[in-house]
Amino acid sequence: MVEPGAIAIRWPPESTGDGQTHSRNLPLSDDPPTLLQWYVRSGDPIHKGQDLLLVGQGQSLQPMISPVDGTLLVQWSEVGESMGAGQTIGWIRPDSPPSDPA
């Protein structure tokens, strides 16, 4: 179980409520996306906008970026794994808890 308040890193990148998808040019391909490289390790501090990992799909390379400042808690996917839609790749502990939209 992941700690309360943690933020999931999912493929494809999802909106985090601030109107951004936190990715750069989603690839258009029928090939399955594959995790090619982690740029950070579990326990590393991360910053909003920092590249976390690299996904390859077809001829496209897609870095995924952090939506918040925090710490990478867990890497659930390994390099070389194909990823399905909505799959959780890892978890981030934000430095400050997400604000309640209510």
CATH code for the part of the protein at 7-94: 2.40.50.100
Domains of the chain, residue spans: 7-94
Strands (E), the chain: 7-11, 34-38, 45-46, 51-57, 60-65, 70-75, 87-94
Q: What is the pLDDT of residues 31-64, one digit of tens each?
A: 899 999 999 999 999 999 999 999 999 899 999 9
Residue with tokens 């996904």: 55
One-letter amino acid at 76 equals W
Residue 100, pLDDT score: 59
Residue 10, pLDDT score: 92
